[in-house]
Amino acid sequence: MKNLTSWAIIGLTLIFLIGPFIIIIFAGASAGESLAFPPDGLSLRWYLKVFTIESFRQSFVLSMGLAIFGTLAALLLGIPAAYALNRYELPGAETIRTVVASPIIVPGIIVGLALLRYMVIPLDVTVTVALFMAHTALVLPYAVRVVSSSLNNLRSDMEEAAVLLGCTRLQAFTKVVLPNIRGGVLAAFILGFVTSFNQVPVSLFLSGPGVRTLPIDMLAYMEITYDPSVAALSALLAFMSLAIVFIAERLLGFSRYV
């Protein structure tokens, strides 16, 4: 009986977690004209149509670019920050940690509004630049945290050993530290990529005419056209995320770092 109850709980939890995903896959595979579940018959036409919608193609490229370059920029800032926070006794290190983490603590709506009101408008930056800066800031906390935890596992005397063997501090970092936190850096990249790619509230404020990230574009599309293509696209994106995480897990045991 007890066994049965626990299985029931596990089953319900799984349905709760995976259910929406399955609904989306089938809603997108509908043969009908409007978004519905269960679908009116099955066909792949909406999955194919997604690729022909010009605005989706543009916003996909933008989202990809933001996710890749925003995350790279965050790593470029985040790795040295994590290193400094780990290796040196900095005055106010706790404050720095909190400030760095704030973009994920403060609700995205507020971050978006603040960036729009106090940075984008007064500085008059282009929409793309604004989005790039916002995504970098949003990914930074993950970069610092994940890289920090792998730096924690790396003893600092290894760098001293490298220095005594002839390395400069910089060489010690590139030849000894970086190779040993490679897993953490890759994990941070993937986490950052997914976070940036799926980001809605901040992008909502910063998107401008003709420049929209994919999730925002999908929201806009749905307001006008209520066909299953959005469902099909969602399913495709979910598969893409799954594939990335699956490959990462296989290559480097991703779950160890998160």
Binding site for other proteins (CB under 8 A): 155, 157-158, 160-168, 171, 175-176, 179-180, 182
The residue (of 22 and 164) whose beta carbon lies closer to other proteins is 164
Main-chain dihedrals φ then ψ at residue 226, nearest 5 degrees = -105, 55
Whole-number minimum distance, CB 190 to other proteins, in Å?
20
Minimum distance between the CB of residue 182 and other proteins, rounded to whole angstroms? 8
Q: Which CB sits closer to other proteins, 150 or 229? A: 150
Nearest one of 173, 241, 30, 11 to 3, comparing CA atoms: 11
Token pair listed for 197: 């790619």
Nearer CB in complex with other proteins: 161/240: 161
- Report, in Å, the least distance between residue 179 CB and other proteins: 4
| Residue 121 CB coordination number (10 Å) | 11
CA pair distance 86, 177, nearest whole angstrom: 12
Of residues 41 and 179, the one with the C-beta less far from other proteins = 179
CA-based max dimension of the chain: 71
**Tokens 């910063």 — which residue?**
206
Task: Output 15 or 93, the one with its CB closest to other proteins.
Answer: 93
Q: List the alpha helices (DSSP H) in 153-228.
A: 157-164, 169-172, 178-198, 201-206, 214-224
Residue 35: phi, psi to the nearest 5?
Answer: -65, 120
Between 113 and 154, name the residue whose CB sits nearer to other proteins: 154
Q: In angstroms, what is the minimal distance from the CB of 97 to other proteins?
A: 23
CB nearer to other proteins: pick between 92 and 179? 179
> Could you give the CA distance from residue 118 to residue 138 in angstroms, rounded to a whole number?
17
Q: Which residues contact 75 (CB under 8 A, 6 or more apart)?
A: 143, 147, 185, 188, 189, 192
CB of 170 to other proteins, least distance (A): 11
Least distance from other proteins to the Cβ atom of residue 168, Å: 6
CB of 176 to other proteins, least distance (A): 6
Instruction: Report the length, in residues, of the chain.
Output: 258
Burial class of residue 107 (count of CB atoms within 10 Å of its CB; 0-12, 13-18, 19+)? exposed
